[in-house]
Each structure stands twice: as structure tokens, then as C-alpha cells.
Amino acid sequence: MKVGVFDSGLGGLTVVRSILDLLKGVEIFYIADTKHAPYGEKSKDEILSYSLDITDYFIRVHHIDALVIACNTATSAAIETIRKQYPNLIVVGTEPGIKPAIEKTRSGKVGVLATPATLSGEKYQQLVDKHAKEKSVMLYEQACPGLVSQIEQGKVEHPTTEKMLETWLHPMRQAQVDTIVLGCTHYPLVSHVIEKIMSCDLSLIHTGDAIAKRLLLLAEQRGHQNSGELGLALYTTGQIDERIVETILGEPVPFTHINSFSAVHKH
């Protein structure tokens, strides 16, 4: 089975890691669209356009059977359009783990860290409306502009990154938040910094494993036998920090540079 996975950068590799741990007999093609990163600070129309270009490229060049949108922002902006345009394609998106966070919290206080685009998106509001009413919880939402760029530049332990997180997390620490939703696939890469700043018994909710399970379920419904070799090919549209790749995947994997998708699609 051929699976295309994309994100605005390297954060989506946290999802690829989960897929590699769970699935067998798949060939994965990953695109880090770093030329247009970060998506979380772009308009919905721009993100939709990038997402359609990438999907079209995956289908034309790699003949994928399944697409994983390993980005909360792109899922919110593009998943419905992609599903309409490609009804035979398995499409799995990424959404903030509001439901598991609400199930997990003991204090009833849940923090949400996400990009500005995710927090202002319709999909996020629908999730909150649906799940926050089921149990009495207080949500502490925090947009994190600039955090994805810091992570992409390899500045995970950097004083500026720590200062940003300290500023954003201070109200959550004061409120005794015990569960935080990592609403962006990049954010697991700074989870140890978040834990250090919060300095409490903290649950961090990220969605890589849930995405891998969903992909496996949908693939098996189409007759996928979960056995055989794994393949992984990585592509980027711009600069990347290869140390991050090794941190996430446990080994260095080379990237191929793509200049453009040269796709013509109809919105």
C-alpha cells in the first residue's frame, strides 16, 4: 500500500514514526513543505491550495492509495475538499485531541496549545462544542505563533523557545492545568520543555498513534494485509534541519528536494 503524508515541515514525521511502528507492507512518501512553512500563520485559501497541489502530486507521481494530512492546520482547511475531489482515496486527517484530554483530566482543567489557524478554524470549534459539554471542563487555549519556526530551525532547547513557552504556560501552571493538548504535530518535539516548565504530574495529548490506528483500520477494510517490508522516501520543498529527522526517526534518512509540484487543479 502506498501512503502519502505531508506537513508544512518536519513535525509530521512524529506521525510517520507512529505509522512505521504500527503498519507493515506500506511504502510511505513524506513531503515537508518547508518552502511555505509555517501553515499555521497562512490564510485558509493558501493552505487549501498547497494541500491540493501536494495531493495531486502524490497521486500523479506516486499513485498513492491513502493520504495522511499530518497537520492540524491543513486538515482544518483542506480535508473536506480533498475528500470530495478524491472519493476513492483513503484520507486521514489530524485534529487536536480534545476528547482524550477531557477523558484524562482529573482537575477538569485542560490546556490547548495550537497554531493561530487551528484555534480559529471551524473544525476546532466543532470539536470543542461537541466534547467540552460532555464533562464540566475549563479550557485554557493558547495560540503559539512562531513556535513551529523555532522547532524547524532546531532551536528546541533555545532560551527564546523556553521563554515563549514559559509566557504561554504560566497561566496554565497558575490554574493547575493537568492535561495539555499538543494541537500541532511539531509540538511533541518540545514536550520535555513543556513538562519542565509545568513541573507537575502532567498528561500531554498528541495524536500520532491515533492516526496510525485509524489508517490501519481503513486500510484493512480495503483488504490490506498488515505484513511485509516498509519503505520510506522523504521530500522537501525548502530548507530542513536534518538533525530533527534523526531525532524523530532514530536514524538519518536523506531528503530529496522538490522545486515545484507543477500541478494544475480545479478548486
Q: Catalytic amino acids?
A: 71, 184
- Residue that has been written with the C-alpha cell 497558575 in this structure: 174
Relative to beta strand 255-257, strand 231-236 is: parallel
Q: Are 155 and 243 in contact (CB under 8 A)?
A: no
Rounded Cα distance between 8 and 236, Å, is 9
Neighbouring C-beta atoms of residue 141, cutoff 10 Å: 16
Neighbouring C-beta atoms of residue 138, cutoff 10 Å: 13
Q: Sign of torsion, CA 242 246 251 253?
A: negative
Rounded Cα distance between 208 and 194, Å, is 18
DSSP 156-224: SS-HHHHHHHHHHHHHHHHTT--EEEEESTTGGGGHHHHHHHH-SS-EEE--HHHHHHHHHHHHHHTT-
Q: Are 167 and 192 in contact (CB under 8 A)?
A: no
> Angle, nearest 10°, between helix axes 242-249 and 13-22?
30
The full length of the chain comes to 267
